[in-house]
Structure 1
Amino acid sequence: MAVEHDLSPDGNSLTIRVKGRFDFGKHQAFRECYEREPVPSKGVVVDLKDATYLDSSALGMLLLLRDHAGGDDAYIRVINASSDVRKILAISNFDKLFEIT
C-alpha cells in the first residue's frame, strides 16, 4: 500500500508513511490512517522518506490532518522530506504550522 500507518505500542503516537506520489490519489488512504485512531497524545509523524512528489492536494491533506489533530494545539512532525519537498513546504509556509525535520 502506498500509505501505511503504525500506532506506537503505548498508543501515544501515530506514524503515517507516504510512498510514491503524494497527491489526490492518496487522499482516501491518508485520511483513513488518522481517522481510525483517537488523536494520540504525543502527536502524529508524517514520514515522507519514500515520497517522490508532493502537490497542492497533499498540502491540503496535511492541513486536514492538522485540523483533525487539534488545529493550533496539534503536534505534527513531517520527517525525512527530500530537498524538493522541503522547498515546497517552506514556500507554502508549512514550516510555521508543522515541525519539519
Structure 2
Amino acid sequence: MAKMTDAERAALERLISHAMRDSGQSRRVADFLLAWWNPGQCGGFDITVTWGLDDEIVEDVVVVFGYAARNNHYPDTLGYGSQFEAIVRAWRPELVSEEGQ
C-alpha cells in the first residue's frame, strides 16, 4: 500500500472534519467521501456537486481523489474506518439501521 503523503493525509482529515459538520457543504463532502468508501451502498458522486464547495475544500477533494485513483485503497484500509462509520451514521442513518437488523 502506498503511504499517504502528509499533504494527502491532511486533506483527507480536513474533509472528514467538514463531513462531520451540519451544513450543505458538509453533505457534499460526506457524499464524496462515502462514494469512495462504499459507492454501492452509499451512492456515487456527481462531480458538479463540487460547484457548491469553497475553493479550499475543492482543493482537498482533488488531492484525495488523486490519492484514491492512484493507489486503489479504501479509506478504512488507511486507518479511517471509525471516522467513515461516523459519517455513515450522520449522513446515511438508514444504512446503520439495516446493519443492526
What TM-score do the two structures reach when normalised by structure 1? Answer: 0.29
Query: In proportion to residue count, which structure has more helix?
Result: 2
Query: In proportion to residue count, which structure has more strand?
Result: 1
Which of structures 1 and 2 has the larger relative contact order (alpha carbons within 8 angstroms, sep 6+)?
2
Q: Which has the larger radius of gyration?
A: 2
